[in-house]
Amino acid sequence: MKKVCTLAAAALALSACAPAGGGASTEQTAGGVRKEITFLTFETPNLGPEIWDAQIKRVTDKHPDITVKKLVAPSAGERNSYAKQLLASGQLPDVMAAIAPGGFAESGQLAPWDDAELAAYEFPKVNPLRGKIYQLPYNTQPTPLIYYNKKLFADAGISTPPKTWAALLEASAKLKAKGINPFVVGGGGKDAFAAGYLWIALVGTDVYSKQPDFLVKRRAGTVRFTDPDFQKATAKFVDLVRKGYVDKAGLSRDYPSTEKAFVEGKGAMYPMGSWFAASADATKPSFDVGVFPLPTDDGAKPIVPAYTGGGPIVNAKAKNLDAAKRFALEFNQNQANNDETVKSDAAIIAIKGYTPPTMGPVYDATLQVYKDALEAGGVVNAFTVETGDDSLLPGVSDKVFALAQDIIAGKKDAAQVTKELDAEWVKAGGR
């Protein structure tokens, strides 16, 4: 594993990990000109250093004129803020994996993708910023779904996943009555984002299902977070906590510890992104894992928050811009790379003609939930995950996660939280 920079030693690490100008260089060798690029990655329990290294090697084997200096963000949750630190120090990497382009593209830091470069993608025009696409839209991730412990459901007398909000509350009450924690959540330490998944799902069912352009309207100042639909979604989250259905111990768990708690049977339901399917299939728990979308009030159709994107963004000022773009495109479209990403991170690849490898039952069930919602017209944006003109203003997502922690801790109600969120929006430069 190559050197990983840490926030704690930022002043030294920035200079040690990435030379000025992104660290790119051009070297004349006996075999011709070799072009170096810097590539910012991140690591999770599913995406370890060995996976990134293997995927990088497949690209450089195909493009031997490109050499890659890999950089690693301190954590998956800090990758966006870390990229901003590198920009501020004049060291923005040439290629960055799964970094939200907002805040970079508007200031001319990123190279856009043209129609020819996007021709292979199923949804080539998602997440535009001022009419241009800056992030390759190669991967769809439902964020979140509700994974559940079938044994604990059966122990509580629950035979099928709930399909309405009332049925979910009834199931949660049955679980609690049996001494079973209904929801396992996270949000501790550097992984504050894990506290927000129930809220994200509720914004999908109660806000985006009715107003898919809610954040576009919020940017225009025609809606507020204190409006009835958003208040309702937030109040449902608060209600789950007040009823004792959300495990407050999650506030001390980082992301890996949260997954471990669910896998060890410390709760019946686990709101998490589709990538959990890879872990559940690779290391099967002692129980069968099922999956369902968070129910709506009437259960008329499944609503699945999802994000399509996740591909690399490219520094417009990269010294070897052509090499950076060729690397990013091949990294995303390489069949073996995508197969590995499916196996390791349960990706739903949004590239035309792509067929995933044979996978396990949790991945297959996850994919089916997504397909059912897609067919029903129930796929909506995932709140906080958007990266286009309909995204949160820079820095506001961190406030969302902090407020989610406050809700789980029982410190704030829906009115307080939504009022604070509106104030944070104005503070970030919004109306």
Which residues, 6 or more positions from 325, have their beta carbon under 8 angstroms from its beta carbon? 111, 117, 314
Judging by beta carbons within 10 Å of its beta carbon (0-12, 13-18, 19+), is residue 30 exposed, middle or buried? exposed
Long-range Cβ pairs for the range 413-419 (8 Å, 24+): 413/235, 413/238, 414/231, 414/234, 414/235, 414/237, 414/238, 415/226, 415/231, 417/234, 417/238, 418/224, 418/225, 418/226, 418/230, 418/231, 418/234, 419/225, 419/226
Final residue before a domain boundary, out of 343, 364, 385: 364
CA distance 370 to 211: 20
Identify whether 298 is part of a domain: yes
- Determine the pLDDT at residue 14: 33
Identify whether 350 is part of a domain: yes
pLDDT digits (tens, 9 = 90+) for 230-283: 999 999 999 999 999 999 999 999 999 999 999 999 999 999 999 999 999 999
CA distance 215 to 380: 12
Domain that holds residue 20: 7-141+310-364
The HSE-up count of residue 166 (CA atoms within 13 Å, CB side) is 3
CA distance 192 to 400: 9
Helix axes 228-242, 396-408, angle to 10 degrees: 40
**Are residues 327 and 182 part of one domain?**
no
The number of domains in the chain is 2
**Are residues 296 and 381 part of one domain?**
yes
DSSP-derived secondary structure letter, 202: H
Helix axes 10-17, 79-88, angle to 10 degrees: 80
Q: Which three-class secondary structure state does DSSP give residue 115?
A: coil
The CATH number for 396's domain is 3.40.190.10
Give the containing element (helix H, strand E) for 421: helix 414-427
Identify whether 95 is part of a domain: yes
* Parts of the chain with a pLDDT under 50: 1-22, 30
Closest CA to 339 of 326, 358, 320: 358
**Are residues 168 and 155 part of one domain?**
yes
Which residues, 6 or more positions from 319, have their beta carbon under 8 angstroms from its beta carbon? 21, 22, 24, 25, 26, 94
- Determine the pLDDT at residue 45: 86
**Are residues 180 and 110 part of one domain?**
no
- Determine the pLDDT at residue 190: 83
Question: Are 50 and 80 within 8 A, CB to CB?
Answer: no
Identify whether 1 is part of a domain: no
**Are residues 392 and 246 part of one domain?**
yes
Ordered DSSP codes for 74-87: S-GGGHHHHHHHHH
Q: Taking all residues of the chain, what is their mean pLDDT, rounded to a whole number?
A: 92
Q: How far is CA 169 from the centre of its chain?
A: 27
**Are residues 205 and 77 part of one domain?**
no
**Are residues 241 and 331 part of one domain?**
no
Final residue before a domain boundary, out of 323, 344, 364: 364
CA distance 283 to 106: 42
**Are residues 214 and 66 part of one domain?**
no
Q: Which three-class secondary structure state does DSSP give residue 121?
A: strand
Identify whether 61 is part of a domain: yes
CA distance 125 to 131: 9
**Are residues 229 and 101 part of one domain?**
no
**Are residues 257 and 186 part of one domain?**
yes
Q: Which residues pair with 289 in a beta bridge?
A: 149
**Are residues 388 and 249 part of one domain?**
yes
CA distance 290 to 150: 6
Residues 337-355, buried b or exposed e (16+ Cβ, 10 A)? Answer: bbbbbbbbbbbbbbbeebe
CA distance 326 to 289: 40
The HSE-up count of residue 138 (CA atoms within 13 Å, CB side) is 27
CA distance 178 to 275: 30
**Torsions phi, psi for 159 (to 5 deg):** -90, -25
Identify whether 47 is part of a domain: yes
Identify whether 102 is part of a domain: yes
Identify whether 204 is part of a domain: yes
CA distance 83 to 54: 23
Q: Which three-class secondary structure state does DSSP give residue 250?
A: helix
pTM across the whole model: 0.85
Which residues, 6 or more positions from 271, have their beta carbon under 8 angstroms from its beta carbon? 144, 145, 146, 147, 183, 185, 197, 198, 201, 294
pLDDT digits (tens, 9 = 90+) for 336-347: 999 999 999 999
**Are residues 406 and 346 part of one domain?**
no
